[in-house]
Amino acid sequence: MSAVHVPSPREKTRALVLDLIREAQSVSRVELADASGLAAATITNVVRGLIAEGVVHEAGRARSRGGTPRRLLELNAGSRFAVGVQIDWHTATIVILDLAGEVVARTSFAGSGPRGPQESLTELAGRIEAMLCSSGVPQDTVVGVGLATHGPQDRHSGVLLASNPSPGWKGFPIVTAFEEMLSLPVVLENDATAAVIGERGRLSNGQRTIGLVYMGSGIGGGVFVNGDAYRGASSNGTEIGHISLDINGELCGCGNRGCLEMLAGPHQVVKGAFAMPDLTERLGLVGGHDAIVKDFARLTRAAAEGDPVPRALVDASARYIGSAVVSLTNLFDLDEVVLAGTGFDHAGQIYLEAVSHALSSTSYARAHRTVHARLSSSPVFAVAIGAATMMLRRRVPSAEHS
């Protein structure tokens, strides 16, 4: 198995047809030809193959005004599955999606911490096998695993290019090692890019340009443009967390000053809380790098419940994110912006309101159209869902594991 599967033109056509059936839920061959721009004979051939492989079936006929009623096609949702995994220092999540893109099982637990890749991947593989077993998903129906983590990455070699989550991960062959543990194809992806692929998968119009802000312990971004996720040279495109909003600001670890992440990320919000001993005590904040996600969750939950002190900290963070989203929108002329990641789990509505306000009051596009912002329907699992969605798109209908 290679680290990156390059789909043939035939596989791409089949993936497109499957996407259209998934989005329409029930669709005729004529409608597929119209929507895809493919010849009727091509659609007939592709659909014949999909039916023979058991991933699509005919489900009755459409009502017709004269002529022969058209036979409708639907997915066999339970015929294929994909696994999505997200791993970073703080958190790990796993989801299993069926062919229709519905979540069959999901779980979240502590991330790698200081552990190296071998130990962390072994734990993940064990959990995946247990989830497949408890969900009743046969191993031979699983098309593969999407593995999402930090950028920068060399996706072709299946390695990470930075010492993240910890030094042992840099250059380690995580894709090859994970494939050997699971006996399944594995594809590596940047976490925020995976999230935007997942969010795109829920929309019907493939031509929309979508931006995504991902907030976990830090801040990242993704853009879906011209029908695909934008990845850049090292799977680290749209690094919105490290655009400078204050050139005289504090020095960031990236070498830039006043980065969005420095001004608005969970570390900054928690740091603000620790300047107020009463607040840290009242909310039971722990402090330190390892507790950042939990401390931020406590603060954002309190803010969402109306506690004015943490609310002020979250409001300040949200205004910076709103400003950065306007820049992202201006750069890519976005149709829509999505907020995803554990950081938006509790106070997502506060962030969404700030982003929507910034877009409607300062985006370049506001004079002639509305740029919509929304919160992911599953902020915590958005990355893992996107990683599994990516695998469904690449590998279905084949489920070959050799």
Q: What are the residues binding Zn ion (CB under 5 A)?
A: 242, 252, 254, 256, 259
What 3-state DSSP class applies to 137?
A: coil
State the pairing for strand pair 71-75/27-28: antiparallel
Length of the chain: 402
Q: CA 94 to CA 280: how far, in whole Å? A: 32
What 3-state DSSP class applies to 268?
A: helix
Q: What is the dihedral of CA 146, 122, 234, 392, to 10 degrees?
A: -10
Selection from 150, 160, 308, 263 nearest residue 216 by Cα: 150
What 3-state DSSP class applies to 114?
A: coil
Selection from 149, 152, 150, 160 nearest residue 234 by Cα: 152
CB of 242 to Zn ion, least distance (A): 4
Give the list of residues 6+ apart from residue 275 with CB closer than 8 angstroms, or none.
none
CB of 257 to Zn ion, least distance (A): 8
CB of 256 to Zn ion, least distance (A): 4
Q: What is the dihedral of CA 248, 253, 254, 257, to 10 degrees?
A: 0
CB of 254 to Zn ion, least distance (A): 3
Q: CA 272 to CA 344: how far, in whole Å? A: 18
What is residue 253's DSSP assignment? T
CB of 244 to Zn ion, least distance (A): 8
Half-sphere exposure of 61 (CA within 13 A, CB side): 7
Q: Which is nearer to Zn ion, 62 or 254 (CB)?
A: 254
Q: Which is nearer to Zn ion, 75 or 243 (CB)?
A: 243
The string of DSSP letters for 16-37 reads: HHHHHHHHHSSEEHHHHHHHH-
Cα–Cα distances (Å) from 256 to 95, 128, 250, 320, in that order, read: 35, 39, 9, 16
CB of 258 to Zn ion, least distance (A): 9
Q: CA 370 to CA 223: how far, in whole Å? A: 18
Q: CA 147 to CA 24: how far, in whole Å? A: 28
Q: Which is nearer to Zn ion, 173 or 258 (CB)?
A: 258
What 3-state DSSP class applies to 225?
A: strand
260 CA to centre of own chain: 20
CB of 294 to Zn ion, least distance (A): 23
CB of 246 to Zn ion, least distance (A): 11
Beta bridge partners of 215: 219
Q: Which is nearer to Zn ion, 51 or 252 (CB)?
A: 252
Q: CA 191 to CA 61: how far, in whole Å? A: 41
CB of 234 to Zn ion, least distance (A): 16
Q: Which is nearer to Zn ion, 116 or 232 (CB)?
A: 232
CB of 240 to Zn ion, least distance (A): 10
